[in-house]
Structure 1
Amino acid sequence: MGWINKAKRADAQVNAWLEQFLTDGLCSHLTPIPSLSPIQDSSGSFIHPPSASERMSSVSEQTGWEEGPGKCSFFTKRWTPTGKESIAKLIFLHGFMEHISRYDHVFQRYAEAGIEVFAFDQRGFGQTAARTKTQGQTSWPAGLKDADFFIMKEASPECCNSRKVFLMGHSMGGGLAFAYTTRSPPREGLPLITGGLVLSSPLIEQTPGVAAAGALIRLGSFLGAVLPKLTLKVGVASKDISRDPVIQEQYVHDPLCAPVGTYKGVGDMLLGGQQLLSHDYKLYPSTLPLLAVHGTADNVTWHDATQQLVEKTNAADKTFKDFEGFYHEMHNEPGDDKFKEIDFIIQWILSHVSK
């Protein structure tokens, strides 16, 4: 049995080496996060921003669970205006290593403006992953299938009552949202996105200086293809997500922002983003309005790549808006700065409701 134990030790050493190698290269802007205890108040509860129901009686916030593709149980959330009919609907895809409850303050404001918002913790993230201990276990094919499932349901004529439907994604979710519109053949739910596409700091390319070498990305993708559930501990550096130190602290201590990914999931989103800029932009539907917003000081995803994507895309109605000095999560910037980005998107959506 001695040779078996030696083989096991060798396998563990190889896996540890690969994890360190790719953490330093494939995810050079993704830094390991120390194991920290969540921030708690005197009652022992985790500290989070107040919910919509606590802060705004004009907004209804509903949470639930829904079984999706592959019998995966997804945590879902819906923000709707109360006392008046919503005039548009938004379906949202969140970013890497985060979850939808981080957007309460954002979508409360959307709902106040008359926009109903539906979102779900994606496969491998947030409460969806926490329930089944599947943190980081995702891929672009799975993510696209999940998005199609919820779009088919949430954007159906029976569900929307002739309202315009918009699709939005942030960071990883932004790349996935653009990919959704450029598949061949088109995804079944694409015709149901009638209002437009919104990209927030989308992962098209990593910011130069932190981007991994192409060879390392391909190596990670190869490992992911062979071992799709092989995980590595990675995390977005908190100092790069926002200029607000409170947001940085909350992010580091958030138990649902688990610093875990898979070689498959990380490889897909990095190579997939590059493919969007090099080829897939040609398949974007010209009649679907496009808005992309990006901070000029984003040290996670590259502002210039997003601008290039919009310029190359053959959309008849397209807008690129940059925010000078803003970091990756513009909706979480300090003070009133966050509302500059939030309100810009709201006004763009409202301006396209009647088009």
Structure 2
Amino acid sequence: MSKTLLRFVGLGFSFFLVACAPTVIPAGDPVGSVKITQNAFIASDGESLPLQHWGPVGDPDAVILGLHGFGDYANAFDEAGTTLASDNIALFAYDQRGFGRTATRPFWSGIQSLVNDAADMLVTLRTQYPGRPVYLMGDSMGGAVAIVTAASRPWWMDGVILVAPAVWNRDMMPWYQTAPLSVISHSLPWLPLSGQGLDIWPSDNIEMLRRLSRDPHMMKSARVDMVAGLADLMDLAHQRAGEIDIPTLLLSGEQDQVIPPEATGAIAKDIRASNPDRSVVCLFPDGYHMLLRDLNGPTVIGDIRRWIKGGAAARDFSCTLN
């Protein structure tokens, strides 16, 4: 263990007895019906979550709800939404609580709040587009939320698309990463963490990464209690992946430096075992973590389109089917 990490662990234990608990700002009690406006998803507690939309409003062939990743916001689906719109597929995405342009940024809202928001939005889209298939697509952290939502409320969607889902659970992490996180999240919950200095590349699209670095709606660092909340979410998603029994498309990149391949491979095995006839696992040899925005992003989005349109044979996919 490094000297720096040892100092963090010691600091955490020193403050443990006098510190506050992690801050969680969950959704409030329901005060009205959920609804969609031009620029917002109004949740059941009245919270306004910024909303973006791509594609036809009136009569789409299919509808997708996109859930963005940790530190990101709804604009994560701009490339996918723009491309899918040309095939008459509508994509909606909102800023999840605690992220992007929401009022509760930068505080964790809790797993239940994230899942309830996704389920409520799916219900709203089903009501707005009767007779049209509705899919849930989760990217990274959003993929973990999508797993829990699909496992617990499958009746609100016709299928789930998992894009590099965040499923690196604590059981697969070395102790020197989980122990400090557990201690510090209860001792110094306000301590910001950032990925600066780490030799990790989330994408091969350097120009896109530069744009994101200048985007004020992207989180450049996160409170440690948010990271602990993400770890809880990844644990639960890893546990529940094998319970999904609806059509599932899992996409991952072999160059992913954020979520270890063995973590994604473990849930792929669970999904195939529990749902062998309705699951597709897609591997992209040149894919990084930000699959939809990598240089190979258009190819990934093309496979998503083919899967949604249905009838695609194995030879039609650009990825390696596993």
| Shared fold, TM over 0.5 | yes
Whether the aligned pair in 2 keeps the contact of 1:217 and 1:270 (CA below 8 Å) is no
In 2, Cα distance between the equivalents of 1:123 and 1:16? 32
Alignment partner for residue 312 of structure 1, among 254, 270, 277? 270
Alignment partner for residue 92 of structure 2, among 109, 115, 118? 118
Residue number in structure 2 paired with 1:346: 305
Residue number in structure 2 paired with 1:199: 162
Residue number in structure 1 paired with 2:49: 74
Question: How much does 1:112 deviate?
Answer: 1.1
Alignment partner for residue 287 of structure 2, among 298, 322, 326? 326
State the aligned residue count: 279
Residue number in structure 2 paired with 1:64: 39
Residue number in structure 2 paired with 1:284: 244
Bigger drift between 112-121 and 212-221 goes to 212-221
Alignment partner for residue 147 of structure 1, among 73, 95, 118? 118
Whether the aligned pair in 2 keeps the contact of 1:63 and 1:75 (CA below 8 Å) is no
In 1, Cα distance between the equivalents of 2:203 and 2:222? 21
Question: How much does 1:141 deviate?
Answer: 1.9
Whether the aligned pair in 1 keeps the contact of 2:66 and 2:91 (CA below 8 Å) is yes
Question: How much does 1:70 deviate?
Answer: 3.7
Whether the aligned pair in 2 keeps the contact of 1:91 and 1:168 (CA below 8 Å) is yes
Are the structure 2 counterparts of residues 343 and 87 from structure 1 closer, same or farther at C-alpha, using a change threshold of 3 Å? same
Whether the aligned pair in 1 keeps the contact of 2:136 and 2:160 (CA below 8 Å) is yes
Write out per-residue CA displacement over residues 34-92 of structure 1, whole angstroms, 9 at most, x where no aligned residue. xxxxxxxxxxxxxxxxxxxxxxxxxxxx951233144322001111237x831111111
Are the structure 2 counterparts of residues 352 and 220 from structure 1 closer, same or farther at C-alpha, using a change threshold of 3 Å? farther
Are the structure 2 counterparts of residues 326 and 283 from structure 1 closer, same or farther at C-alpha, using a change threshold of 3 Å? closer
Gaps of 5+ in 1: 1-12, 20-61
State the secondary structure of the residue aligned to 2:300. helix
Alignment partner for residue 97 of structure 1, among 67, 71, 92? 71
Alignment partner for residue 146 of structure 2, among 173, 177, 184? 177
Q: Which amino acid aligns with 2:110?
A: S
Residue number in structure 1 paired with 2:109: 138
Matches within 5 A, 1:118-267: 118-128=92-102, 132=103, 134-156=105-127, 159-183=128-152, 187=153, 190-194=154-158, 196-205=159-168, 213-214=174-175, 216-217=177-178, 220-221=181-182, 224=185, 230-236=189-195, 240-267=201-228
Q: Which amino acid aligns with 1:176?
A: V
Matches within 5 A, 1:40-59: none
Residue number in structure 2 paired with 1:34: none
Whether the aligned pair in 1 keeps the contact of 2:68 and 2:76 (CA below 8 Å) is no
Residue number in structure 1 paired with 2:261: 303
Whether the aligned pair in 2 keeps the contact of 1:98 and 1:257 (CA below 8 Å) is yes
State the secondary structure of the residue aligned to 1:81. coil
Whether the aligned pair in 2 keeps the contact of 1:221 and 1:268 (CA below 8 Å) is no
Write out per-residue CA displacement over residues 154-194 of structure 1, whole angstroms, 9 at most, x where no aligned residue. 223xx1220111111000000110011223xxx4xx31202
In 2, Cα distance between the equivalents of 1:275 and 1:289? 20
Matches within 5 A, 1:12-27: 17-18=11-12
Question: How much does 1:203 deviate?
Answer: 0.5
In 2, Cα distance between the equivalents of 1:303 and 1:122? 26
State the secondary structure of the residue aligned to 1:66. strand
State the secondary structure of the residue aligned to 1:167. strand
In 1, Cα distance between the equivalents of 2:267 and 2:173? 20
Q: TM-score, normalised by structure 1?
A: 0.69
| RMSD, aligned CA | 3.3
In 1, Cα distance between the equivalents of 2:59 and 2:149? 28
State the secondary structure of the residue aligned to 1:71. coil
Write out per-residue CA displacement over residues 10-50 of structure 1, whole angstroms, 9 at most, x where no aligned residue. xxx9999449xxxxxxxxxxxxxxxxxxxxxxxxxxxxxxx
Whether the aligned pair in 2 keeps the contact of 1:221 and 1:263 (CA below 8 Å) is no
Percent identity of paired positions between Structure 1 and Structure 2: 20
In 1, Cα distance between the equivalents of 2:145 and 2:137? 10
Are the structure 2 counterparts of residues 216 and 330 from structure 1 closer, same or farther at C-alpha, using a change threshold of 3 Å? closer
